[in-house]
């Protein structure tokens, strides 16, 4: 489903003539199979968010290749990646990233609007998905009127609405209390089991990491997995 090959990335800071290159990721290779939940863990600055942003196409890698659904997305233009993203990838963000001036219904409906789905189908699908995440009674509420857990469920509903084969989640429970966190993790597990959706979750929380079929640990921009004795065993 997701194949990362020899991925390396640096950040350049400073102005022309006085640039400093900060290495972020070095020679990262791994694969996520369909229906898997894979978690990527690591300390702050280990490069896990950079890795997710590279897979999402928000930044382009300096070296290496990324394949999603057997399509090499490494060198896709911004426009083509946008078209690919809306069809194949759902996103869940730590801070939910809901548009505050839109109701829960409108936020969830947004990807369908961008896809050009007609109004009747949009309404039906959005109501179904809001029912699935248990928020149909809150559909006319604005994000500011919902709790953190509810907002994250709206965010999940928005990610699910285009029926993507893979969902990328960046610290999905980072803004939630422990009780809500457990509810959400259970919800993700259920989605994975019932709908077969592949999840790639970035987290620094051990409890979140535990829901994954596999965990990849990043240290200083490289894959490090002590429980698997060698890096090669992690690489598939």
Q: What are phi and psi of 63, to 5 degrees?
A: -140, 160
Count of Cβ atoms closer than 10 Å to residue 220 Cβ: 14
Q: What whole-number distance in Å separates Cα of residue 41 and Cα of residue 53?
A: 15
The distance of closest approach from Cβ of residue 170 to another protein in the complex, given in angstroms and rounded to an integer, is: 10
Are 8 and 62 contacting, i.e. CB atoms less than 8 angstroms apart? yes
Size of the site for another protein (CB under 8 A): 27
Q: How does DSSP classify residue 63?
A: E
Query: Alpha helices of the chain — where are they, by DSSP H?
Result: 48-56, 78-88, 104-115, 119-132, 148-160, 178-195, 206-209, 231-234
Residues with Cβ within 8 Å of 2's Cβ and at least 6 positions away in sequence, in order, are 31, 32, 55, 66, 67, 68, 166, 198, 200
Given 67, 110, 136, 235, the residue binding another protein (CB under 8 A): 110
Nearest to 11 by CA among 52, 59, 58: 59
Q: What whole-number distance in Å separates Cα of residue 53 and Cα of residue 9?
A: 11
If binding is defined by CB under 8 A, does position 11 make contact with another protein? no
The distance of closest approach from Cβ of residue 114 to another protein in the complex, given in angstroms and rounded to an integer, is: 5
Of the listed pieces 2-10, 107-115, 186-194, 211-219, which binds another protein according to CB under 8 A? 107-115
Q: CB-wise, 155 or 215, nearer to another protein?
A: 155
Residues within window 73-92 making contact with another protein, judged by CB under 8 A: 78-79, 82-83, 85-87, 89, 91
Q: CB-wise, 126 or 215, nearer to another protein?
A: 126
Q: How does DSSP classify residue 13?
A: E
Given 13, 21, 114, 195, the residue binding another protein (CB under 8 A): 114
The distance of closest approach from Cβ of residue 117 to another protein in the complex, given in angstroms and rounded to an integer, is: 9
Binding mask 156-175 for another protein (x = CB under 8 A): --x---x-------------
The distance of closest approach from Cβ of residue 67 to another protein in the complex, given in angstroms and rounded to an integer, is: 19
Q: CB-wise, 98 or 234, nearer to another protein?
A: 98
Residues within window 132-161 making contact with another protein, judged by CB under 8 A: 158
Question: What are the residues binding another protein (CB under 8 A)?
Answer: 53, 56, 58-59, 78-79, 82-83, 85-87, 89, 91, 93, 95, 97-99, 101, 110-111, 113-116, 158, 162
């Amino acid at each position: 489903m997701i194949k990362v090959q020899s991925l390396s990335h640096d950040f350049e800071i400073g102005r022309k003539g006085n640039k400093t290159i900060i290495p972020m990721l070095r020679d990262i290779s791994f694969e996520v199979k369909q229906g898997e939940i894979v978690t990527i863990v690591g300390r702050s600055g280990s490069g896990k968010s950079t890795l997710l942003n590279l897979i999402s196409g928000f930044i382009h890698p300096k070296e290496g290749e990324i394949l999603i659904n057997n399509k090499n997305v490494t060198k896709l233009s911004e426009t083509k990646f946008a078209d690919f993203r809306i069809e194949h990838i759902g996103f869940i963000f730590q801070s939910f990233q809901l548009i505050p001036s839109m109701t829960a219904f409108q936020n969830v409906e947004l990807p369908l609007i961008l896809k050009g789905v007609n109004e009747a189908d949009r309404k039906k699908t959005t109501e179904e998905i809001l029912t699935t995440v248990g928020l149909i009674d809150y559909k006319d509420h604005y994000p500011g009127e919902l709790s953190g857990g509810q907002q994250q469920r709206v965010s999940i509903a928005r990610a699910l609405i285009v029926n993507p084969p893979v969902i990328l989640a960046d610290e999905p429970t980072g803004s939630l209390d422990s009780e809500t966190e457990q509810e959400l993790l259970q919800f993700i597990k259920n989605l994975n089991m019932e709908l077969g959706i592949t999840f790639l979750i970035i987290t620094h929380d051990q409890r979140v990491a535990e829901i994954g079929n596999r965990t990849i640990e990043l240290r200083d921009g490289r894959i490090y997995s002590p429980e698997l004795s060698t890096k090669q065993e992690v690489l598939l």
